[in-house]
Structures are given as C-alpha cells and as structure tokens.
Amino acid sequence: MNNNRKLAAVVVGLGLVTLSACGSSSGNGGSGGSGGSKSVTLVSHDSWAVSKSVLADFEKQSGYKVHVLKDGDAGQAVNKAILTKDNPQGDVFFGVDNTLLSRALDNGLFQSYEAKGSDMILPEYRVDQAKHRVTPIDSGDICVNYDKAYFSKHGLTPPQSFDDLVKPQYKNLLVTENAATSSPGLGFLLGTAAKYGDAGWQGYWKKLKANGVKVVDGWEQAYNQEFSGSAGGKKAKGDRPLVVSYASSPPAEVIYADPKPKTAPTGTSYGTCFRQIEYAGLLSNAKNTKGGKALLDFLVTKEFQDDMPLNMFVYPVREAAQVPPEFQKFGQPAKDPEKMAPGKIAENRDQWVKSWTSLVLQ
C-alpha cells in the first residue's frame, strides 16, 4: 500500500512498470503532451505501479494521458498534498490509508465524487458514504516480517506476536519505521495501541525500546537497507532479521527472485498485524475534474483491481477480483489482524504520535 509495498519488487526491478513522475506543470487541464492529447495527473506514494497494457487500455478508452507524481512514503505524500491543497500538484490522490484518512478529510483535501463501480466494492471497506470524498482501492496487513535463514542459522524460533518481540532472544533484531513520517510505522504503532489499549501501549514501547528496536524514516530504508532478508538487504548488508513491512512481502520475494525459490525466504509474524485500507480521491481545486473522475472510475474497474496485486502487492477490494496463486500460497492476509475504528484513530492519532516520538526517539 505505499512505497511500502512495491516491496522487494522495487529492489529486484523485474516485471513492474514504473511511470515517470511529473509535476502539475505537465498539464492537468485540457491539453498537454505531444499532439495536444488531454492529460490527468495522479499524485501518489512511491509504490504506485500498474501494468503497461492496463494503463494503455484506460488511456485509449478515455482519451487521457496519465501522468504520475510520486511523492515519497505515504505519510510524506499525504502531508505534502495537504500543504498544497489550494494549488494541488495533480487531480487525483491515491494512497491515503485508514491511519491518515481523518487528517486528509478534516483538512478538506478531497471533493465529493462517487466513482462508477463503487457498488462493487466490498461493504466492509466503504467509508464516508454520505459525502463520497474517497474511494477504497486496496487492503493489506502491516506486519513484522522475518528472515528465515537468520533464524534457522541461529536456532531461534521467529517471533509470532507483539509479546514475543520484547523477549530477550530478539534483542537488537527489529527495525521499524518512524510513526510520524511513515504509513507502516504509524500502522505498527496503532497495532500496538489496539492490542494493549490506551493505558498499555506506551509501556509496551518502553520494553521494545529497551530491547533495541531501531527506527528509520521510511519503509524503503527499513526493508531494503536494514532488513537482512530482502533482496536489497543482502546487497546492502542489512543486519536486522525483523522488519515492519507487509504480509504481502514474502510473495514479492518469490515472484521477483531469479531463479524462483520453492518457498519464500521471508515469513510473516501474523500476531503482529494491523489491517490497512488505502483510498483515492478527487483533489479539491483539481484543474481537470473530468479527467480525475474518469481516473477514479478506472481504479475500481475489474481490470485494474485484477492487475493490482502483482504490481503493488496489495489485495483488491472489488467483489470477485482475482488474487494470484502466489498470494494464496505465500501471502495470505491475517485471519485476525488488529483493527481500529476510524473515529478512534482520528481522536488519538496525533497525540499518540507525539507521545511515541518523545518516548522512542528522545
């Protein structure tokens, strides 16, 4: 869901089509690009990806050329979009998740639009039904991943729960992302708050800090540089065998490996998962609202939803959308992830992040 989730595929660099970024000067309005073709700009986090043929189908059918502006980790991208909302960088924003949704809505980031095909979205993912300011696009689980080779070599059983992570045998093994700047980092914090409650999560983080947790700015650094189990981690000589990532990371490691292993080199600690849902919306003050609406319609089509898992390593939210077999074998969603009501997130998120920052980073 985020630059978070192109995952190991980012590192290996096979099979994904990465669209070139461009700013609002690329022409959000009627004409732009060669031959005077219409254009529409999507602002997103770094994990946005789509198959070339699928995007070409949309561009041919709609007449719009899609430009993509990738703006870092999801948390960074949302914050920047809010700061530039009066003169937005594009027409549609993709990648605000349930951890940051209230911030975007409270700051008037989106205008109302009910995307065509929204009735095909599974009911459990629908929010803001009165105003339709955002459209659910995908879901996934933020979880601790582990490097199987490390734990086998050291004769250790990988941790399977939040409680396990603070045990002495896992000291100095975990790297996570900054909850103030990173979507998976914030999701992990919210997972601990959901697990231990308002009165217990800070005590848990004190134990985690004492047990040597390392905090870095974003997913890219955590997974590709610090984690020993990723394709990038091997090259970068990361020494942390535990990382906050996604339940869909292990299938990415299989799919983009050459040659393909029979089993995933990484695993998921399912007792550490927090359910994440990502949304897209038509930006307030978008220059090309017609093109933006067409693009939102496209994001909930079966063609895009079927294509999405192997490009962004997330699960579709549309009824009857296809899930690749690699996901079913190596990246099943958590059966009982931690969850939190959007209202509770909105009420507590900023104070929790402030308290977390003081507790963990100082």
pLDDT tens by residue, 234-256: 555 699 999 999 999 999 999 88
Nearest to 300 by CA among 276, 283, 328, 319: 319
Tell me: pLDDT of 23 over 50: no
Using a pLDDT cut of 90, give the percent of the chain over it.
75
Name the residue type at position 142.
I
Q: Which residue would you say has higher pLDDT here, 234 or 133?
A: 133
Tell me: pLDDT of 28 over 70: no
Token pair 């100082």 is at which residue? 362
Q: What is the pLDDT of residues 53-80, one digit of tens each?
A: 999 999 999 999 999 999 877 888 999 9
Give the pLDDT confidence score for residue 170 in this predicted structure: 98
Q: What is the pLDDT of residues 315-330, one digit of tens each?
A: 999 999 999 898 989 9
Give the pLDDT confidence score for residue 341 in this predicted structure: 87
Tell me: pLDDT of 29 over 70: no
Compute the average pLDDT of residues 286-296: 97
What is the distance of C-alpha 274 from the center of its chain? 12
Tell me: pLDDT of 25 over 80: no
On average, the pLDDT of the chain sits at 88
Instruction: Quote the Cα angle for 103-108-111, to 5°.
Output: 125
Could you give the CA distance from residue 93 to residue 100 in angstroms, rounded to a whole number?
Answer: 13
Compute the average pLDDT of residues 154-164: 98
pTM of the model: 0.81
DSSP 353: H
Tell me: pLDDT of 206 over 90: yes
Domain regions of the chain by residue span: 7-140+277-328, 141-275+337-361
Give the pLDDT confidence score for residue 232 in this predicted structure: 60
Question: How big is the chain by its Cα radius of gyration, in Å?
Answer: 20
Compute the average pLDDT of residues 24-33: 39
Give the pLDDT confidence score for residue 261 in this predicted structure: 86
Tell me: pLDDT of 44 over 80: yes
Give the burial string for 215-251 (b: 16+ CB within 10 Å, else e). Answer: bbbbbbbbbbbbbbbbbbbeebebebbbbbbbbbbbb
Using a pLDDT cut of 70, give the percent of the chain over it.
88
Most confident of 22-26, 37-41, 237-241, 313-317: 313-317
Q: Which residue would you say has higher pLDDT here, 360 or 33?
A: 360
Could you give the CA distance from residue 264 to residue 288 in angstroms, rounded to a whole number?
Answer: 43
Tokens coding 33:
């690009």
The fold of the 7-140+277-328 domain, in CATH, is: D-Maltodextrin-Binding Protein; domain 2 (3.40.190)
Tell me: pLDDT of 298 over 80: yes
Domains 7-140+277-328 and 141-275+337-361 share a fold: yes
The fold of the 141-275+337-361 domain, in CATH, is: D-Maltodextrin-Binding Protein; domain 2 (3.40.190)
Compute the average pLDDT of residues 30-48: 71
